[in-house]
């Protein structure tokens, strides 16, 4: 047993921490967030130069061939900066789905561009009735000449505003179990019949509504077998989920640091507020949340990387804990801060916003607890 | 990172040896105690006899240096022994007491070489029972406000005072205790730490009628104690105590999970029918059981992390108390979930409908106490705040070896 990072991972972490400090201070992060694209091409290029974009993609497809643990090190640091980036959508989630279910030809044609960051892909899974189980995929894809025709709406899709391609889950047959009948398609965002609109509101990521109106997709762009999409999605999404948890862990760790600093410098009643036990209670809730999130997440990552039994149970635990912890610890941080906590220049809200929008992303605590109940034979 | 223990071929052979030995030597005819802390005297005696045999093999204080009566084995060997021992339902006394758990480590840091050679073999022998006796009627969370005195008269100290909520139901041989040695000194610089033979004249040990456990009260009345029984200097007691408290407050961590209540709760809920369906199929029950499972996993991971930190000599800050706090909050929550999901059956010890032959009833009672001994929930929070660097008092983890 060894719960430390390897020397190489420490180096990676230091490099990532330096990068975030220099390239992604809170003023820059806010600018990116306030930009309608929610994207900085310059930052994306720099991350590509460092080899971070494709780090999870195998070397034979132009990536860095790193495992989840190495990638999680970078994810914690991205979380610390509350960095808005399409990295998770494109080079993690979509790349993992293609790695899991794509043909050799598809891997060769799609993955290198995702690895360099030359192309960005977004997963279009959720719909107006929102959910992450197979039953939530209702949009139809009907067989047509040489391929399929897609009609319907995908909703709350992060990063679609900057994506070149979409990875769409649609229903090709119904009547069987919800798991069967889902098919995955790679669709060019510029394809005829695809329209997309970024939604406004309180979200850490730009969320989009995407409408498909008689969109024709060639059979060559089906990932995996027709009707067999769920068996590709489920393992790929588990892997994507734990990196999201690492991001939430890093973000929570930063919220802790911000709150401890503030408690030591803000003076009230003649003393730094951190001296008050009511304030300390909030700080303790924060650190407990961060550590619960961190160790459940890393255990799940270790199990996935090493093919240990019970990996899926651990993923469910990690996401349920991380979603709840991140949400609650941001609330605690706001209690510590009072008014300044909602001051935009102060920047705490960047984390809070993430804690709200990532709560449901890739499955909320209820979804993962239900999965867990099933896995535990309850 | 790696969350698993791996064993070499030699260690796997060692496991077989331990297993084989245990199967031959584990005491037979132990009573099925409803209350693990209130087992009968004859079981206690069998437990002490057994752990003495275990110590002769070097498996009781397995990782302690051989020159101090330990086994001189690696922590991996210790985990193997704990895992194998854990598969038998043995009296708590077999797994150790505050002698080798808390007192010994303090002696390792603060004792003289001579003390290490004379005291440590006592607590590693398995034969003698040691109790840590800190709490007093007027000094619980505020331990430093203790009133028991130990006044030096040449080569001995004279002890007077009263300790309470300490020890266990049956016999004791040694007391690890604290007393005021310099009444005029400032707080924390006025305390001595002592290793007291329990049979000295002037020591009376009384019983308490408590909701759970066999805790005792101890009176010292002009007890003459040789000064050689003092650990550290006359007024080093507070520092000595920090080493034991760090461990008691969760700093030892936990590599082996011997608490089977979670497993029992899930198992019973899956396999017991109520009103035509398994208990766990009710959606409210299912959700409570999953919450319990998740809370349990977090607690297990905090224990594992602390175990790893200690065995890899990673410096502690708040982590010891965080684990203790988490356990003290989770345990009562688990009891509430048991009551909610399994019903009033968990309150009963002597009816066929009581789960696990009435053994969950102890957990319900115990969960009321759990938040308090070894530092209350509030004390753990206080320590965490100090170590997060926001309190008036700043502190680091205590010294340990």
Q: What is the pLDDT of residues B282-315, one digit of tens each?
A: 999 999 999 999 999 999 999 999 999 988 889 9
Contact at CB, A373 and B4, closer than 8 angstroms: no
pLDDT digit string (tens) for A248-282? 999 999 999 999 999 999 999 999 999 999 999 99
**B382 close to A (CB below 8 A):** yes
**B287 close to A (CB below 8 A):** yes
Q: For residue B308, list chain A residues with Cβ-Cβ distance below 8 A.
A: 1-3
Homologous superfamily in CATH for domain B130-235: Butyryl-CoA Dehydrogenase, subunit A, domain 2 (2.40.110.10)
Contact at CB, A3 and B1, closer than 8 angstroms: yes
Contact at CB, B294 and A372, closer than 8 angstroms: yes
Percent of chain A with pLDDT over 70: 100
pLDDT score at B256: 75
Average pLDDT (A187-210) is: 97
Q: Which of A200-204, B243-247, B382-386, B396-400 has the lowest mean pLDDT?
A: B396-400
Closest CA to B129 of B161, B91, B78: B91
Q: Could you give the angle at which helices A68-80 and A7-23 cross, rounded to 10 degrees?
A: 30
Q: Does domain A231-375 have CATH number 1.20.140.10?
A: yes
Contact at CB, B390 and A274, closer than 8 angstroms: yes
Closest CA to B61 of B102, B5, B13: B102
Q: Closest partner residue to A1 among B269, B298, B308, by Cβ?
A: B308
Check whether B39 has a pLDDT greater than 90: no
**B388 close to A (CB below 8 A):** yes
Cβ pair A255, A337 in contact under 8 A: no
DSSP H helices in B26-62: 41-56
pLDDT digit string (tens) for B333-370? 999 999 999 999 999 999 999 998 888 999 999 999 99
Average pLDDT (B230-258) is: 86
Contact at CB, B305 and A3, closer than 8 angstroms: yes
Question: CA of A289, closest CA in chain B: separation in Å?
Answer: 10
**B277 close to A (CB below 8 A):** no
pLDDT score at A234: 97
Q: Cα B22 to chain center, whole Å?
A: 23
Closest CA to A131 of A299, A363, A374: A363
Contact at CB, B297 and A308, closer than 8 angstroms: no
Q: What is the dihedral of CA B43, B83, B373, B346, to 10 degrees?
A: -70
Contact at CB, A320 and B294, closer than 8 angstroms: yes
Token digits of residue B63: 């990782």
In chain A, the residue whose alpha carbon lies closest to the alpha carbon of B309 is A3
Cβ pair B218, B166 in contact under 8 A: yes
Percent of chain B with pLDDT over 70: 98
The average confidence (pLDDT) of chain B is 92
In chain B, the residue whose alpha carbon lies closest to the alpha carbon of A6 is B1
Question: CA of A34, closest CA in chain B: separation in Å?
Answer: 34
**A265 close to B (CB below 8 A):** no
CA B186, B188, B194 angle in degrees (round to 5)? 120
Cβ pair A151, A171 in contact under 8 A: no
In chain A, the residue whose alpha carbon lies closest to the alpha carbon of B324 is A288
In chain A, the residue whose alpha carbon lies closest to the alpha carbon of B294 is A317
Contact at CB, A1 and B301, closer than 8 angstroms: no
Given pLDDT bands bounded at 50, 70 and 90, which one contains residue B99? confident
Parse chain B into domains and list their residue ranges.
Answer: 9-96, 130-235, 252-388
Q: For residue A293, list chain B residues with Cβ-Cβ distance below 8 A.
A: none
**Run of H or E including B366:** helix B360-369
**B152 close to A (CB below 8 A):** no
What letter does residue B325 receive in the DSSP assignment? Answer: H
pLDDT score at B378: 96
CA B164, B207, B148 angle in degrees (round to 5)? 25
pLDDT digit string (tens) for B252-273? 788 777 667 888 899 999 999 9
Token digits of residue B302: 């905090």
pLDDT score at B255: 79
Given pLDDT bands bounded at 50, 70 and 90, which one contains residue A166? very high
How far apart are the C-alpha atoms of B220 and B222, rounded to whole Å?
Answer: 6
Report the Cα–Cα distance between both ends of chain A, in Å, rounded: 30
Given pLDDT bands bounded at 50, 70 and 90, which one contains residue B392? confident
Closest CA to A51 of A32, A69, A37, A71: A71
Token digits of residue A92: 């993690």
Contact at CB, B266 and A299, closer than 8 angstroms: no
**B312 close to A (CB below 8 A):** yes
Contact at CB, A302 and B392, closer than 8 angstroms: no
Check whether A239 has a pLDDT greater than 90: yes
Q: For residue B1, list chain A residues with Cβ-Cβ distance below 8 A.
A: 2-5, 69, 298, 301-302
How far apart are the C-alpha atoms of B341 and B330, rounded to whole Å?
Answer: 16
Query: How far are the Cα atoms of B219, B289, B295 from residue B326, in angstroms, in the given order?
Result: 34, 18, 9
Closest CA to B177 of B213, B150, B137, B208: B150
In chain B, the residue whose alpha carbon lies closest to the alpha carbon of A257 is B388
Average pLDDT (A127-150) is: 96
pLDDT score at B37: 80
pLDDT digit string (tens) for B178-200? 999 999 999 999 999 999 999 99
What letter does residue B197 receive in the DSSP assignment? Answer: E
Query: How far are the Cα atoms of A10, A41, A112, A118, A326 from residue A161, in angstroms, in the given order?
Result: 34, 13, 21, 15, 26
Q: For residue A371, list chain B residues with Cβ-Cβ distance below 8 A.
A: none
**Run of H or E including A150:** strand A147-158
**A105 close to B (CB below 8 A):** no
Q: Closest partner residue to B392 among A1, A263, A275, by Cβ?
A: A275
Contact at CB, A1 and B289, closer than 8 angstroms: no
pLDDT score at A359: 98
**A275 close to B (CB below 8 A):** yes
Contact at CB, A3 and B308, closer than 8 angstroms: yes
pLDDT score at B400: 65
pLDDT score at A270: 96
Given pLDDT bands bounded at 50, 70 and 90, which one contains residue B36? confident
What letter does residue A173 receive in the DSSP assignment? Answer: -
Q: For residue B384, list chain A residues with Cβ-Cβ distance below 8 A.
A: 280, 284, 287
Q: Does domain A122-226 have CATH number 3.30.300.280?
A: no
**B2 close to A (CB below 8 A):** yes
- Whole-prediction pTM: 0.94
Question: CA of B300, closest CA in chain A: separation in Å?
Answer: 10
Q: Please give the interface size between A and B, counted as residue pairs whose CB atoms are below 8 Å apart.
A: 121
Contact at CB, B1 and A301, closer than 8 angstroms: yes
Contact at CB, B293 and A277, closer than 8 angstroms: no
How far apart are the C-alpha atoms of A84 and A37, rounded to whole Å?
Answer: 10
Question: CA of A187, closest CA in chain B: separation in Å?
Answer: 38
Residue identified by tokens 């319990």 is B292
Given pLDDT bands bounded at 50, 70 and 90, which one contains residue B397? confident
Q: For residue A284, list chain B residues with Cβ-Cβ distance below 8 A.
A: 325, 381, 384-385, 388
Burial of A267 (0-12, 13-18, 19+ CB in 10 A): exposed
In chain B, the residue whose alpha carbon lies closest to the alpha carbon of A281 is B381
- Which residues are B224's β-sheet partners? B158
Do the domains A7-118 and A122-226 sit in the same CATH topology, yes or no?
no
Check whether B32 has a pLDDT greater than 80: no
Q: Closest partner residue to B388 among A69, A260, A292, by Cβ?
A: A260
pLDDT digit string (tens) for B66-77? 999 999 998 889
Average pLDDT (B242-256) is: 82
How far apart are the C-alpha atoms of A96 and A184, rounded to whole Å?
Answer: 13
pLDDT digit string (tens) for A211-230? 999 999 999 999 999 999 99
Instruction: Residue window 355-374, chain A: list those with CB within 8 Å of chain B.
Output: 369, 372-373
pLDDT score at B86: 84
Q: For residue A302, list chain B residues with Cβ-Cβ distance below 8 A.
A: 1-3
Cβ pair A170, A150 in contact under 8 A: yes
Cβ pair B317, B397 in contact under 8 A: yes
How far apart are the C-alpha atoms of B81 and B88, rounded to whole Å?
Answer: 12
Check whether B209 has a pLDDT greater than 90: yes
Looking at the structure, give the CATH architecture of the domain made up of residues B252-388: Up-down Bundle (1.20)
Cβ pair B128, B72 in contact under 8 A: no
pLDDT score at B258: 60
How far apart are the C-alpha atoms of A64 and A85, rounded to whole Å?
Answer: 19
Contact at CB, B392 and A321, closer than 8 angstroms: no
Q: Cα A159 to chain center, whole Å?
A: 10
Q: Closest partner residue to A280 among B298, B302, B385, by Cβ?
A: B385
**A243 close to B (CB below 8 A):** no
How far apart are the C-alpha atoms of B271 and B279, rounded to whole Å?
Answer: 8
pLDDT score at A303: 98
Parse chain A into domains and list their residue ranges.
Answer: 7-118, 122-226, 231-375
How far apart are the C-alpha atoms of A273 and B391, rounded to whole Å?
Answer: 9
Token digits of residue B194: 């002592």
Token digits of residue B99: 């002698």
How far apart are the C-alpha atoms of B144 and B188, rounded to whole Å?
Answer: 6
Number of residues that make up chain B: 401
Q: Does domain B9-96 have CATH number 1.10.540.10?
A: yes
- CA torsion sign, B43 to B45 to B51 to B56? negative
Q: For residue B296, list chain A residues with Cβ-Cβ distance below 8 A.
A: none
**A262 close to B (CB below 8 A):** no
What letter does residue B295 receive in the DSSP assignment? Answer: H
- By DSSP bridging, strand A165-171 and strand A121-124 are parallel
Average pLDDT (A349-368) is: 98
Cβ pair B45, B169 in contact under 8 A: no
Helix (H/G/I), strand (E/B), else coil: A273: helix
How far apart are the C-alpha atoms of B48 and A164, rounded to whole Å?
Answer: 72
How far apart are the C-alpha atoms of A83 and A206, rounded to whole Å?
Answer: 12
Percent of chain A with pLDDT over 90: 99
In chain A, the residue whose alpha carbon lies closest to the alpha carbon of B279 is A378
**A304 close to B (CB below 8 A):** no
DSSP H helices in B68-186: 75-86, 98, 104-110, 113-124
Given pLDDT bands bounded at 50, 70 and 90, which one contains residue A318? very high
What letter does residue B392 receive in the DSSP assignment? Answer: S
CATH number of A7-118: 1.10.540.10
The average confidence (pLDDT) of chain A is 97
């Amino acid at each position: 047993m060894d719960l430390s990072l390897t020397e190489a991972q420490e180096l990676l972490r230091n490099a990532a921490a330096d990068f975030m400090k220099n390239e992604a201070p809170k003023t820059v992060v806010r600018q990116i967030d306030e930009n309608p694209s929610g994207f900085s091409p310059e930052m994306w290029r720099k991350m590509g130069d460092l080899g971070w974009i494709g780090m999870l993609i195998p070397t034979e497809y132009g990536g860095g061939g790193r495992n989840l643990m190495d990638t999680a090190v970078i994810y914690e640091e991205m979380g610390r900066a509350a960095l808005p980036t399409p990295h998770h959508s494109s080079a993690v989630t979509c790349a993992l789905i293609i790695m899991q279910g794509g043909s050799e030809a598809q891997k060769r044609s799609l993955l290198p561009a995702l690895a360099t960051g030359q192309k960005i892909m977004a997963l279009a899974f959720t719909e107006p009735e929102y959910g992450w189980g197979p039953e939530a995929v209702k949009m139809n894809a009907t067989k047509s000449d040489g391929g399929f025709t897609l009609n319907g709406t995908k909703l709350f899709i992060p990063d679609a505003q900057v994506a070149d391609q979409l990875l769409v889950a649609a229903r090709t047959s119904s009547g069987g179990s919800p798991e069967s009948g889902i098919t995955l398609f790679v669709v060019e965002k510029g394809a005829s019949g695809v329209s997309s609109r970024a939604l406004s509101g309180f979200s850490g990521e730009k969320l989009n509504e995407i409408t498909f109106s008689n969109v024709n997709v060639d059979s060559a762009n089906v990932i995996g077998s027709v009707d067999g999409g769920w068996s590709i999605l489920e393992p790929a999404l588990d892997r994507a989920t734990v990196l999201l948890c690492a991001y939430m862990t890093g973000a929570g760790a930063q919220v802790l640091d911000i709150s401890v600093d503030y408690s030591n410098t803000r003076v009230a009643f003649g003393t730094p507020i951190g001296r008050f036990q009511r304030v300390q209670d909030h700080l303790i809730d924060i650190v407990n949340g961060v550590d619960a999130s961190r160790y459940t997440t890393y255990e799940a990552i270790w199990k996935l990387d090493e093919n240990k039994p019970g990996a899926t149970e651990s993923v469910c635990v990690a996401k349920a804990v991380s979603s709840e912890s991140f949400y609650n610890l941001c609330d605690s941080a706001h209690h510590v801060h009072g008014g300044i906590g909602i001051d935009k220049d102060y920047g705490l809200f960047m984390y809070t916003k993430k804690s709200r929008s990532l709560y449901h992303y890739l499955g909320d605590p209820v979804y993962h607890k239900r999965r867990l109940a099933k896995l535990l034979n309850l | 990172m790696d969350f698993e223990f791996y064993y070499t071929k030699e260690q796997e052979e060692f496991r077989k040896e331990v297993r084989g030995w245990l199967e031959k030597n584990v005491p037979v005819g132990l009573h099925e105690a409803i209350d693990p802390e209130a087992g009968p005297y004859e079981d206690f005696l069998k437990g002490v006899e057994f752990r003495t045999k275990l110590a002769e093999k070097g498996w009781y204080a397995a990782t302690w240096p051989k020159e101090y009566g330990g086994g001189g084995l690696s922590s991996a060997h210790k985990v193997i022994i704990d895992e194998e021992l854990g598969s038998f339902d043995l009296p708590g006394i077999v797994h150790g007491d505050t002698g080798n758990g808390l007192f010994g480590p303090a002696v390792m840091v603060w004792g003289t070489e001579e003390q290490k050679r004379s005291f440590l073999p006592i607590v590693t022998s398995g034969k003698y029972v040691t109790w840590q006796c800190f709490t007093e009627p007027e000094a619980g969370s505020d331990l430093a406000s203790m009133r028991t005195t130990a006044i030096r008269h040449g080569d001995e100290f004279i002890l007077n005072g009263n300790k309470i909520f300490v020890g266990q139901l049956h016999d004791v041989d040694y007391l690890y205790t604290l007393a005021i040695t310099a009444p005029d000194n400032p707080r924390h610089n006025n305390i001595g730490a002592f290793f007291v033979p329990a049979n000295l004249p002037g020591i009376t040990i009384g019983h308490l009628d408590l909701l759970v456990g066999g805790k005792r009260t101890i009176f010292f009345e002009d007890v003459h104690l040789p000064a050689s029984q003092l650990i550290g200097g006359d007024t080093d007691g507070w520092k000595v105590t920090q080493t034991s408290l760090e461990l008691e407050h969760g700093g030892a961590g936990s590599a082996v999970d011997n608490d089977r209540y979670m497993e029992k709760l899930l198992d019973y809920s899956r396999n017991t029918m109520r009103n035509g369906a398994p208990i766990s199929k009710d959606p409210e029950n299912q959700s409570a059981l999953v919450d319990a499972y998740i809370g349990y996993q977090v607690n297990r991971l905090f224990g594992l992390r602390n175990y790893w930190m200690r065995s890899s000599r990673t410096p502690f800050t708040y982590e010891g108390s965080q684990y203790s706090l988490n356990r003290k909050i989770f345990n009562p929550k688990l009891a509430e979930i048991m009551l909610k999901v399994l019903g009033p059956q968990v309150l009963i010890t002597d009816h066929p409908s009581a789960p696990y032959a009435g053994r969950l009833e102890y957990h319900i009672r115990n969960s009321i106490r759990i938040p308090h001994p070894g530092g209350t929930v509030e004390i753990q929070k206080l320590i965490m705040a100090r170590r997060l660097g926001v309190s008036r008092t700043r502190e680091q983890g205590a010294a340990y070896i």
